[in-house]
Chain A
Amino acid sequence: MISLEKVSFGYGEGSSTVRDISFHIEKGEFVAILGANGAGKTTTVKLIDGLLKPTKGKVVINGLDTSKTRVSERARHVGFLFQNPDRQICRNTVREELAFGLETVKKDMSREDIDRRVGEVMESFGFSGDEEPFSLSRGERQRVALASVITVQPEIMILDEPTTGLDYRECSHIMDVISDMNRTMGTTVVMVCHDMEVVMSYARRALVMAGGRLLADGTVRSVFRDTELMLKASLLPPQITELSMRLGKGFENADTVGEMTARICSEMQVRRAGR
């Protein structure tokens, strides 16, 4: 579905923000791109959507080379949620904002169908539709931006730090909606994220970047448990993962609160039985 082959990119002459990276993402995957600031994560997702053209290598989405096709044509299949929602929002009400994407990319859709689809999304996000997007809070604006991406029902969703600046409730709501689309509709999700707890809870695969290079590609659990890799990428694993690694034998793969609780309970039972 998404394929990067030996891709390099630099913003200026001689600079190299992304260096020789290759990976392949299948339909329905939930991939997190991790790395410290300046690792090349945002550049990589922009390369995936074709907003940036690689200086070397090839990016292919749905069998089409992004250098040879237009971004606006891809918008029907690829939804991009930017870090700053204010760059996406361009209409005066939430209803108009959600309809904008459909009106732009699905020109053959009837007015009734657009209104029905917008209504469904507004209901699931808890918007009345008459709100003015720019007078909403940062978190709410981020939700409006996500809702407008979801309204189009893209096959691929690229999310650049979707939870930055959001409180726990807003973060959970946004991530649950994304996760639900990934599970029920098979939407491919590629997410840049600094919140390791969010990555552990929602993503299944992690790509680790540092200095523009791809350091690792594996399951989220295997990546978080590779201490040397995490150090190299200047990342910290979630606290539960770190605790389970420190506790050692009997606590392997206890990476969530639920798993850790289950292990502690079973360990206590074993000890009680031993007494």
Chain B
Amino acid sequence: MKDLFQYTAGNSVIHRMNPLTKILLAVCICAAGFISDNIFYLLFLLLLDMMIGLAAGVFKKALSILKGLLKVSIFLFILQVLFVRRGTPVFWIITDEGLMLAAKVVLRLIIACIPLALMLAVTQISDLANALVQVLHLPYKYAFTLTTSIRFIPQFMEEMGDIMEAQTARGVEFDTKNGLKKIGLVLPLCVPLLISSVRRTDATAVAAEVRGFELRTTKSGFKKYPFRLIDLAAFLICAALIAGAVLL
């Protein structure tokens, strides 16, 4: 899971898109997922997510996200099924409406999680920051903050894994199969993780400052990010996705 947000090099159609188009496409898929109430449309969006993964050469990553979401999805599904009492009973306290709502909630969760992770996997973080500055004229300070926080996610996940490993070696039972017990054990991890996060952030800020962070302007990047035909096609897809979600 920790290499989820790491860039996967390639020359696919998705790779060649403008970084902002990729993010817009991801946001539109997520938005369509939340707007639509049609289960078939939600299934179509899930299929679209997987097809994007296939087209971008990151299908394995898409599958691993799906696998990662499996436990949470099952938990959410059970919770919804048990608490929604509307509709016709199918079995015990489970109703048809409960089943449908649970399926929709789970599908929405998956649809919302996959596209953004996939888009980040096919976009270099520096390109995203530069495009935000050049195209949207966002001050570099904010673009840097945004991209740094994205870059930190896999690092924090790795750090968390290392801390858990160290604590297991000290006798903390992170290797137990009891999930509930494991959740209770996470508390001692908060201190080292918080400290290392603050230290890392501080070190990054100092390193950026000594490398002339304050001197950077919109003209500092040599790479340009124009919108091409492929981006226009993606905009049309975005519009179609939102329209489909509203109409269907």
Name A's B-contacting residues (CB within 8 A): 46, 49, 51, 70-72, 75-76, 78, 80, 82, 84, 86-92, 100-101, 104-105, 134, 148, 152
Interface string of B156-182 (1 = CB under 8 A from A): 000100110111111111111000000
Q: Are A76 and B191 in contact (CB under 8 A)?
A: no
Residue among B174, B189, B195 with the most chain A CB within 10 A? B195
Q: How far is the CB of A137 from chain B (nearest CB, A)?
A: 13
With both chains docked as a complex, state the minimum distance between the C-beta of A61 and any C-beta of chain B, in angstroms.
13
Q: Nearest-CB distance from B137 to chain A (Å)?
A: 39
Interface size on B, residues (CB 8 A): 22
B156 to chain A, nearest CB (A): 13
Main secondary structure of the interface of B (DSSP, over half): helix
Give CA–CA (A76, B199) in the complex, Å.
Answer: 31
B89: interface (CB < 8 Å): no
B194 CB to nearest chain A CB (Å): 9
Rounded to whole angstroms, the CA-CA distance of A92 and B191 in the bound complex is: 8
Given A71-B175, A72-B171, A75-B168, 11 more A-B residue pairs with CB atoms under 8 Å apart are A51-B169, A70-B175, A72-B172, A82-B162, A84-B162, A87-B166, A88-B170, A89-B192, A90-B191, A105-B171, A148-B170
B139 interfacial contact with A, CB 8 Å: no
B196 at the interface (CB under 8 A from A): yes
* A71 neighbours in B (Cβ, 8 Å): 168-169, 175
A90 touches B171 (CB 8 A): no
B188 within 8 A of A: yes
Question: A residues within 8 A CB of B159?
Answer: 87
Q: Which of B123-180 contact A (CB under 8 A)?
A: 159, 162-163, 165-176
* Whole-angstrom CA separation of A88 from B174 in the bound complex: 14
Cβ–Cβ < 8 Å partners of B163 in chain A: 87, 90
The answer to whether B175 and A72 touch across the interface, beta carbons within 8 angstroms, is yes
List A contacts of B171 (CB < 8 A). 72, 75-76, 101, 104-105, 152
A87/B192 in contact, CB under 8 A: yes
B175 neighbours in A (Cβ, 8 Å):
70-72
Please indicate which of the listed interface residues B159, B165, B171, B188 has the most CB atoms of chain A within 10 Å of its own CB.
B171
